[in-house]
């Protein structure tokens, strides 16, 4: 066995893009080398014309990835920035009286080229990067922020929007147009449009600096993930690892030029699987230490000082905008509204979770003593002994499940549920451009056979890809002009099966696939007029509802019986396994809830501070001490690698739990009908949640679907706490 740093050949961490229509800026995705043609032509020279600026004469106008090289991006972005500035300048300087058409609608139609180029760049830099793309990201991220600020802080443009907003009751707008006006006005105000000139200048400077810091933070996490590996050499190092996991580790070794060895990486599916199965406590400790120290290893990739600066700048930004803390600012435009409301939810769950985790720890300790281990359970021991207790208590272990959870079958299960719920059909497309050979593409059609959009799946871990799992898009949906259909992508990091063998998933992997596909459906089913309101452009504590709700269908026996087929025999998962799986559903839930809730609580505490902590690790330890964090559990994301809270989920990691209140309650609506695919319920869900984008307030949207507000008891019951 050897462990340590290896040379990282390509680095990523770029955020995906999101359209604000007032500007287009990269914003962090949740949070995601072989031969990719996005480099040079066969002769080694770049194309003389820029494919990013040409018409895309490809099937479904999908980006012509094979023609795009890194050096195409900066010239294309330069032209796109200039074009968008000219469009906005024309709107802002117009002498005509402001109308919805010459101001709001004109803004919605602007920036098309910038959006197109930025989406391609940000998706590639996150999912299949290299040193050139990473370098470009560091250069252009502050430019995107500056471009957006120049628009959102344009006094002439805001004056036109303000005039329309003050007259909104007399404009005779339909509900969607009025929502666009209201959301645009709020976006400008929250960006600082009402501030004095000097304050607006400072806001713009803060945002540019934040864009640089966030990009560097994300890239540093990837550097630490890419530069570490644990090489297993011989049967002693492999003790406890099941055959399927060994095969994936062998493939990882082959890809790194280590034939005959096995390699563990910091991709979650690799390291978590190792911590679950490895009988080598010393090696588990090494892997766990590397996993939890990402971003805090000293040197150029250390994120601790960067996070202090990020938190400080966000606090300054909040003060400029009239808020006591960044947490108050961030939550003011969400369903939760206040830090107090978030604290109330998290505290309700925390007490239940800690008590349950204590019982779980005692059971693990008993199992360890049964094997002759006399020292206390450590954080690096938890998954290993939890798997042993689960096997003993429910006669169920992860190794027994994996042969039934083939990647292709789980994809088919996700598609089948979408067909039964929403009438969608997924047809594979083999002859369309893709940015990496592993990427799969499907055309999506509705019940009538009409084109809905494209769905892309990028499922396997590789060194050029940021860790995690996320949904993004290469094109959004809207109905302006000729309209636009979406191109949606799900990106994941599953360990690829051995050559000629299927990729087998853990149940958590399968749940992740369903989760991200739920986000994908939120984009695919979008049915709005205006780009700003499309798809997932909703409150962040509502955006997780479609994804977390979709996870529920994976657990249903009628889905598993049909698609959980043994990869060798083709036989469905036996009833005895289904019963065990259901019985063990809430096993280890105390642990899972503690590691998540602790992360959410620390996130909120960080952004409620008036002055950011200079020592992030000391601050983290102090907060965990205040809430009596169990010593045997660590935060799911420690601060130096907590990518969510430097990006779009700053003071917002709680959102997953807030949405869980709704998703548990929403699935109950199907259960109450006696049919988990009930057509009427599915139609309401599609109309008010999956297709509605940001056309209405999220609380109103949920009530229209469910007939009443969500109830927290569903969450507690879902986690086995009630």
Rounded Cα–Cα distance for residues 298 and 129 (Å): 24
Q: Quick one: tokens of 425?
A: 């059909």
Distance CA 52, CA 66 (A): 11
Catalytic residue among 125, 387, 516, 551: 516
Q: Which residue has the tokens 């600096």?
A: 209
Burial class (CB in 10 A: 0-12, 13-18, 19+), 3: middle
Question: Per DSSP, which regions of 290-430 are E strands?
Answer: 425-428
Q: Is 202 helix (H, G, I), strand (E, B) or coil?
A: helix
Residue ranges with strand state E in 223-373: 228-232, 262-264
CB-based contact 27:15 (threshold 8 Å): yes
Structure-token pair, residue 260: 């005959």
Backbone angles phi, psi at 425, to 5 degrees: -120, 135
Yes or no: say if 457 and 474 are a contact pair by the CB < 8 Å rule.
no
Q: What are the residues whose beta carbons fall under 8 Å from the beta carbon of 177, sequence distance 6 or more?
A: 100, 104, 529, 530
- Give the C-alpha separation, 234 to 227, whole Å: 22
End-to-end C-alpha distance for the chain, whole angstroms: 45
Per the CB < 8 A criterion, the answer to whether 7 and 104 are in contact is no
Say if CB 335 and CB 542 are below 8 A apart: yes
The residue whose two tokens read 């990719």 is: 36
C-alpha pair distances (Å), 586 with each of 357, 398, 406, 581, 583: 12, 15, 23, 10, 8
d(CA 13, CA 193): 30
Distance CA 73, CA 50 (A): 9
Report the run of H or E that residue 60 belongs to, with start and end: none
Within 8 A by CB and 6+ apart from 171, the residues are 100, 164, 178, 181
- Three-class DSSP category at 456: strand
Classify residue 565 by its DSSP letter: B
Radius of gyration of the chain (CA): 25
In the numeric block, which tokens belong to residue 102? 């010459």
The answer to whether 398 is a known catalytic residue is: no
Side-chain half-sphere of 208: how many Cα atoms within 13 Å? 14
What six digits make up the tokens of 202? 């400072």
Length of the chain: 722
User: Judging by beta carbons within 10 Å of its beta carbon (0-12, 13-18, 19+), is residue 199 exposed, middle or buried?
Assistant: middle
What are the residues whose beta carbons fall under 8 Å from the beta carbon of 90, sequence distance 6 or more? Answer: 106
Query: CA-CA distance, 23 to 15, in Å (whole number)?
Result: 16
Burial code (b: 16+ CB inside 10 Å, e: under 16) for 90-117 equals ebbebeeebebeebbbbbbbbbbbbbbb
Spatial neighbors of 35 by CB under 8 A, at least 6 apart, are: 437
Within 8 A by CB and 6+ apart from 42, the residues are: none
Nearest partner of 598 among 561, 564, 629, 556, judged by Cα: 629
Integer Cα distance of 227 and 284 in angstroms: 18
Across 336-463, the runs of DSSP E, i.e. the strands, are 425-428, 440-445, 451-460
Residues 460, 478: contact at Cβ < 8 Å?
Answer: no
Phi, psi of 492 (to 5 degrees): -135, 180
Catalytic residues: 516
């Amino acid at each position: 066995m050897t462990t340590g740093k290896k040379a990282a050949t390509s680095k990523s961490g770029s955020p995906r893009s999101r359209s604000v229509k007032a500007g287009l800026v990269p914003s962090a995705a949740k949070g995601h080398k072989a031969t990719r043609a996005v480099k040079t032509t066969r002769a080694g020279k770049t194309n003389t014309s820029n494919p990013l600026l040409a018409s895309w004469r490809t099937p479904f106008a999908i980006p012509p990835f094979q023609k795009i090289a890194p050096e195409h991006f900066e010239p294309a972005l330069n032209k796109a920035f200039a074009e968008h500035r000219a469009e906005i300048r024309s709107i802002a300087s117009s002498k005509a009286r402001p109308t919805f058409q010459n101001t709001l609608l004109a803004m919605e139609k602007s920036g098309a080229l910038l959006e197109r180029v930025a989406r391609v760049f940000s998706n590639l830099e996150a999912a299949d990067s290299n040193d050139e793309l990473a370098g470009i990201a560091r250069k252009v991220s502050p430019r995107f922020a500056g471009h957006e600020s120049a628009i959102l802080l344009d006094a002439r443009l805001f004056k036109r929007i303000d005039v329309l907003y003050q007259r909104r009751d007399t404009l005779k707008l339909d509900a969607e147009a009025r929502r666009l006006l209201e959301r645009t006005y709020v976006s400008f105000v929250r960006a600082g449009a009402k501030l004095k000139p000097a304050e607006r200048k400072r806001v713009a400077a803060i945002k540019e600096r934040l864009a640089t810091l966030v990009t560097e933070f994300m890239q540093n996490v990837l550097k630490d993930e890419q530069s570490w590996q644990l090489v297993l050499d011989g049967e002693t190092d492999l003790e406890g690892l099941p055959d399927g996991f060994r095969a994936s580790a062998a493939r990882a070794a082959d890809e790194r030029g280590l034939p005959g060895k096995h390699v563990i990486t910091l991709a979650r599916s690799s390291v978590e699987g190792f911590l679950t199965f490895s009988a080598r406590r010393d090696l588990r400790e090494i892997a766990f230490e590397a996993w939890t120290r990402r971003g805090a290893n000293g040197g150029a990739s250390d994120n601790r000082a960067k996070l202090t600066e990020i938190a400080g700048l966000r606090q300054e930004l909040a003060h400029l905008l009239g808020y006591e803390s960044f947490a108050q600012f961030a939550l003011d435009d969400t369903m939760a509204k206040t830090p107090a409301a978030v604290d109330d939810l998290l505290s309700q769950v925390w007490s239940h979770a800690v008590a349950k985790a204590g019982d779980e720890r005692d059971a693990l300790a008993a199992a360890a003593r049964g094997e002759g281990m006399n020292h206390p359970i450590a954080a690096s021991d938890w998954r290993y002994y939890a798997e042993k207790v689960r096997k003993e208590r429910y006669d169920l272990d992860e190794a027994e499940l994996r042969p039934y959870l083939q990647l292709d079958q789980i994809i088919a299960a996700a598609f089948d549920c979408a067909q039964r719920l929403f009438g969608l059909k997924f047809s594979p497309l083999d002859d369309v451009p893709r940015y990496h050979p592993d990427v799969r593409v499907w055309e999506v059609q509705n019940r009538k056979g009409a084109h809905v959009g494209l769905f892309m799946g990028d499922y396997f871990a590789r060194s050029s890809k940021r860790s995690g799992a996320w949904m993004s898009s290469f094109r959004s949906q809207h109905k302006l002009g000729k309209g636009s259909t979406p191109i949606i992508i799900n990106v994941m990091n599953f360990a690829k099966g051995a050559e000629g063998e299927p990729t087998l998933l853990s149940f958590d992997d399968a749940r992740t696939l369903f989760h991200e596909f739920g986000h994908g459906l939120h984009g695919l089913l979008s049915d709005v007029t205006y780009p700003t309101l499309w798809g997932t452009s909703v409150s962040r504590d509502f955006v997780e509802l479609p994804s977390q709700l979709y996870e529920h269908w994976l657990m249903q026996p009628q889905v598993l019986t049909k698609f959980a087929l043994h990869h060798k025999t083709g036989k469905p998962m036996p009833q005895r396994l289904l019963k065990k799986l259901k019985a063990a559903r809430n096993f280890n839930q105390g642990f899972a809830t503690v590691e998540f809730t602790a992360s959410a609580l620390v996130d909120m505490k960080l952004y409620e501070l008036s002055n950011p902590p200079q020592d992030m690790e000391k601050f983290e330890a102090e907060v965990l001490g205040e809430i009596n964090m169990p010593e045997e559990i660590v935060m799911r994301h420690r601060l130096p690698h907590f990518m969510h809270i430097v990006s779009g989920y700053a003071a917002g990691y709680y959102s997953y739990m807030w949405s869980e209140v709704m998703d548990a309650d929403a699935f109950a609506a199907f259960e109450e009908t006696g049919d988990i695919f009930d057509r009427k319920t599915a139609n309401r869900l599609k109309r008010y949640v999956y297709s509605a984008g940001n056309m209405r307030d999220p609380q109103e949207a949920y009530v229209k679907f469910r007939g009443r507000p969500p109830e927290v008891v569903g969450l507690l019951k879902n986690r086995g706490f009630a």
